[in-house]
């Protein structure tokens, strides 16, 4: 069964706890309360490098900041977001899918 990323993200935002934006994502990483970081393909390099250097579970989506914002149901661009609590969303399965694709 294919994961509907847009639906999963909207559910996580509605039911769980999500930190939206690169600066807020970095703050959640410092607090140590994130489970997964989602990055848009055109996330600014300075934020991408800082986030990746923290060795947190990260998923690079092949969508732009505009598309990620729209996918999350927001009227603005989103370069990064941190899933703190997925709620009833199945978004955490994207991480398992990414890991299994890396091993292939």
Q: Look at residue 102 in the predicted model and tell me its pLDDT.
A: 40
Cα separations in angstroms, 22 against 65, 67, 75, 88: 11, 16, 16, 24
Q: What are the pLDDT digits (tens) for 47-81?
A: 999 998 988 899 999 999 999 999 888 999 999 99
| Residue 97 confidence (pLDDT) above 70 | no
* CA–CA separation, 18 and 34 (whole Å): 9
Q: At what angle do helices 22-31 and 45-53 cross, to 10 degrees?
A: 10
Phi, psi of 44 (to 5 degrees): -50, 135
Least Cα distance to 47 among 82, 83, 84, 79 occurs for 79
Query: Model-level pTM?
Result: 0.83
Phi, psi of 83 (to 5 degrees): -85, 115
Residue 61 and residue 41 in contact, taking contact as beta carbons nearer than 8 Å:
yes
Tell me the residue length of the chain.
104
Question: Is the domain covering 5-103 a CATH 3.30.1330.30 domain?
Answer: yes
């Amino acid at each position: 069964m294919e994961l509907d990323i847009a639906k999963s993200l909207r559910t996580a935002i509605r039911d769980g706890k999500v930190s939206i934006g690169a600066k807020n994502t970095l703050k959640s990483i410092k607090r140590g309360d994130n489970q997964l970081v989602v990055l848009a393909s055109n996330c600014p390099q300075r934020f991408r490098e800082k986030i990746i250097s923290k060795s947190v579970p990260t998923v690079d989506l092949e969508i732009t900041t505009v598309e990620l914002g729209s996918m999350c149901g927001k009227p603005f661009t989103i370069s990064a977001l941190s899933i703190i609590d997925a709620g009833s969303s199945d978004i955490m399965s994207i991480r398992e899918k990414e890991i299994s694709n890396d091993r292939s």
